[in-house]
Structures are given as structure tokens and as C-alpha cells.
């Protein structure tokens, strides 16, 4: 397994060798059944046709041989990506286990390696469905709750700053981390409309800013994340309707992505937002409904909502002039509490996620947030 993933080619290099890059290089020269492999950057439709032309055994062989490629290929079957990412996690775990015992590293380096090893062990446990995984640098990952292929409604949780492999899930303040957010939303959606087949994606598959420094004040990382988010939505299986739930800097990513979102996205809801790189909801250029909420104790309200010379992210989405539908965030308690079970903020997200927008509670001074909404609105299948 280590040989086919490209590990043997890089085992003598630095401990921070990019395992996915090695796997991509091996894929470039690989073949299956006498056929060359398609480019890993090919259009998802072409990749879907390629995998559809293979036998089940051939598909599994590719997932086992090139897991860091197959596990991140838009267009590859979802179950095959889950399988590939389990293999990738096993390889990455072995690397970190070795690093954790390496006396050539500093104590801090060994501690970090141990933390990463335990994170990978957690992601390998209990039948978890990892849709994307790249351990390079701070790392990127996405996890699915529910049956993504059969879902009628898909919710995507887009987190903010300091999101990486180590912060993807937390024991303390669990609902402030992507896994806790998504798991909580999935449970709430099931209670809100049990007959609707739902899936929720904890989407940390972009490079977020580290802390609230310059990267957090500009849109560079948001622009890169928006490209990845658009691709995710565009290549989801089936014809499910999609809602985006964007927290903190994640709302900047969603704002940038909105201008070219797939029409299957019906709703974009932001919480604790520093801005969406727009002065008005209509500037986002999307037919999706735009919702916004902020807890009264959220520190983000002190951030200047403006954009000057590339710094800042534009108007405040909860301001009356922005034009978003304003939701109650009752019970959220600060910047990280919007997905806490039992809060009105979570109940509002769940109502939007299952396609029942008229069930939400509006912010106290914006009782018209459901104005003009009737029954479930639908969009053309894509």
C-alpha cells in the first residue's frame, strides 16, 4: 500500500513531504487495464465517464493505489472517495506515528505529530465518511453526515478562520468546530422534517486564514476557497437542492462564491459575518435567498464593515441597508455558538436546510424576513 501511494518515492525526504503530490505524480504515469489514467484536473463529467467505464474491481484498485488522488477527485463515485480517503488516512497516520517518535524533531514537533496522528485515528473510526482529505501543511478535509447520493437536500457548512485538520473537530466547545456544526445541523434537520432525506457536509476543504491578521482582512484566501466551493456544489451527485451555512470568514468565501454558484443553491445563510465582499445582497449576483444573523454578544460586530484598498469585506450583512433576510440568533451566545443544540439560530438553519424557510424566526426588529416566501421553492436540476 505504501509503495502504490507513492510513499516509497519520498520516504527519504523531509518529514513534511506532500503525500498527495507524490500520489499525483504516480497517477500521471499510471494506467488501468492497459489504458492511461485521465488528468486529475479533467472536467468532472469526463472523470465520471471514466470511472463508469471501469469494473468495480478496477475502481477499487485505483482507490487503493492512488488514494490521495481518487479521494479528492470531483467526478469519482462518492463511495469510492470514502474508500480512498480511508487508505490515505491510514498512510498519513503511519507517517505521523513515525514522526511522533523521531528524536530528530523538537518536543513541540513530536507533540504536533502526535496530535495529528490522533486526529487521523479519529477520522478513521466508526464508519466516518470523509469526502476530501489532504494532510499537506495545515491540511484540508471534508466529511459527510447522511447519504449524500440519495439526499433531497444537502447543507454545506463553511467554517472560518483557524480551520485546519487539528481544529476540524473539538472535544471542548464541540459545536464551534466544523464536525460539531455539521453533526448538530444534521440532527436538527432530521427533527425539523423527518421525511426529508438530508445530508450535511462539514466542508474544511479550503485554506483558511490563521488568526485574525492580514489574511483574515483580505479576500485572497476567500477567492481561492470560493473556487473550491463552487466546484464542490457543481459536482455533488444527483439533483439535490443545496443550502450554504457560512460562519465568520466562511461568509466571505460564500460571498465571493455566490457570483457563480450553481443554480441548485437555494439559500446562503451567514452567521457572525465580517462581510461578504459586497455592499448589498443584490450585488452578490445570485438567485439564492440571502439570510444573515448575529448574536448580540458576538465580538465580530466590532469589526469595521467596509472595504478600502482590498482590506475589509464590505457592508455588514445584518445591517438594514444590506438587504439580507434577518434571522434570530437567540441562544447562540457569542461568536462560536450558532450551531449549539437548542438554540433558535440552529433551528433557523435547520428550517432553511430542509427547504422550509417559512418556519424560521426572524430577528426581533425584522419580522418580515419570510415575506414573499411560500412553499418550497425549487430550482432546475443540473
Q: Are residues 26 and 55 in the same domain?
A: yes
Q: Are residues 149 and 203 in the same domain?
A: yes
Whole-angstrom Cα distance, residue 236 to residue 259? 18
Q: Are residues 185 and 321 in the same domain?
A: yes
Whole-angstrom Cα distance, residue 138 to residue 148? 26
Q: Are residues 109 and 159 in the same domain?
A: no
- Which cell numbers hold the place of 307? 472595504
Q: Are residues 169 and 195 in the same domain?
A: yes
Domain that holds residue 345: 138-359
The number of folded domains in the chain is 2
**CATH number assigned to the domain comprising residue 351:** 3.40.50.1820
Q: Are residues 64 and 144 in the same domain?
A: no
Do the domain assignments include residue 351?
yes
Whole-angstrom Cα distance, residue 201 to residue 182? 6
Whole-angstrom Cα distance, residue 207 to residue 313? 18
Whole-angstrom Cα distance, residue 219 to residue 224? 9
Do the domain assignments include residue 373?
no
Whole-angstrom Cα distance, residue 158 to residue 178? 8
DSSP SS3 for 269: strand
pLDDT tens, residue by residue, 139-156: 999 999 999 999 999 999
Do the domain assignments include residue 372?
no
Write out the H or E segment, with its range, that includes residue 348: helix 344-353
Strand positions, DSSP E, 6-123: 31-32, 35-36
Q: Are residues 213 and 81 in the same domain?
A: no
pLDDT band at 301 (very low <50, low <70, confident <90, very high): confident
Q: Are residues 334 and 222 in the same domain?
A: yes
DSSP SS3 for 52: helix
Q: Are residues 180 and 62 in the same domain?
A: no
Q: Are residues 327 and 239 in the same domain?
A: yes
**Do 222 and 312 meet the contact criterion of CB atoms below 8 Å apart?**
no
Q: Are residues 85 and 201 in the same domain?
A: no
Distances in Å between the Cα of 25 and the Cα atoms of 6, 74, 274 are: 8, 18, 39
pLDDT at site 215: 67
pLDDT tens, residue by residue, 87-142: 999 999 999 999 999 999 999 999 999 999 999 999 999 999 999 999 999 999 99
Q: Give pTM, 2 decimals.
A: 0.91
Q: Are residues 328 and 266 in the same domain?
A: yes
Amino acid at each position: 500500500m505504501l509503495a502504490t501511494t507513492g510513499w516509497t518515492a519520498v520516504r527519504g525526504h523531509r518529514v513534511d513531504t506532500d503525500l498527495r503530490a507524490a500520489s499525483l505524480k504516480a497517477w500521471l504515469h499510471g494506467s488501468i487495464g492497459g489504458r492511461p489514467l485521465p488528468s486529475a484536473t479533467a472536467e468532472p463529467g469526463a472523470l465520471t465517464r471514466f470511472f463508469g467505464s471501469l469494473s468495480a474491481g478496477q475502481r477499487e484498485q485505483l482507490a487503493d493505489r492512488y488514494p490521495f488522488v481518487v479521494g479528492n477527485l470531483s467526478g469519482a463515485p462518492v463511495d469510492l472517495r470514502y474508500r480512498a480517503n480511508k487508505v490515505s488516512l491510514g498512510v498519513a497516520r503511519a507517517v505521523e506515528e513515525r514522526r511522533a517518535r523521531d528524536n530528530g524533531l523538537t518536543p513541540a514537533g513530536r507533540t504536533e505529530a502526535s496530535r495529528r496522528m490522533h486526529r487521523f485515528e479519529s477520522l478513521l473510526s466508526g464508519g466516518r465518511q470523509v469526502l476530501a482529505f489532504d494532510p499537506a501543511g495545515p491540511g484540508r478535509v471534508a466529511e459527510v453526515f447522511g447519504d449524500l447520493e440519495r439526499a433531497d437536500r444537502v447543507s454545506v457548512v463553511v467554517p472560518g478562520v483557524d480551520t485546519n485538520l487539528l481544529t476540524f473537530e473539538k472535544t471542548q466547545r464541540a459545536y464551534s468546530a466544523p464536525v460539531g456544526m455539521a453533526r448538530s445541523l444534521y440532527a436538527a434537520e432530521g427533527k425539523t422534517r423527518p421525511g426529508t432525506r438530508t445530508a450535511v457536509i462539514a466542508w474544511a476543504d479550503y485554506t483558511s486564514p490563521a488568526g485574525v491578521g492580514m489574511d483574515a482582512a483580505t479576500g485572497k484566501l476567500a477567492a481561492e476557497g470560493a473556487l473550491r466551493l463552487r466546484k464542490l456544489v457543481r459536482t455533488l451527485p444527483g439533483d439535490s437542492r443545496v443550502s450554504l451555512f457560512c460562519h465568520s470568514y466562511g461568509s466571505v468565501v460564500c460571498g465571493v462564491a455566490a457570483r457563480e454558484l450553481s443554480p441548485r443553491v437555494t439559500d446562503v445563510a451567514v452567521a457572525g459575518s465580517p462581510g461578504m465582499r459586497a455592499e448589498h445582497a443584490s450585488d452578490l449576483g445570485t438567485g439564492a435567498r440571502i439570510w444573515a444573523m448575529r448574536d448580540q454578544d458576538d465580538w465580530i460586530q466590532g469589526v469595521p464593515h467596509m472595504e478600502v484598498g482590498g482590506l475589509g469585506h464590505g457592508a455588514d450583512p445584518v445591517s438594514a441597508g444590506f438587504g439580507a433576510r434577518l434571522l434570530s440568533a437567540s441562544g447562540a451566545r457569542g461568536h462560536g455558538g450558532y450551531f449549539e443544540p437548542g438554540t433558535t439560530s440552529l433551528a433557523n438553519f435547520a428550517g432553511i436546510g430542509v427547504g422550509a424557510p417559512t418556519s424560521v424566526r426572524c430577528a426581533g426588529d425584522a419580522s418580515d424576513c419570510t415575506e414573499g416566501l411560500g412553499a418550497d421553492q425549487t430550482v432546475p436540476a443540473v
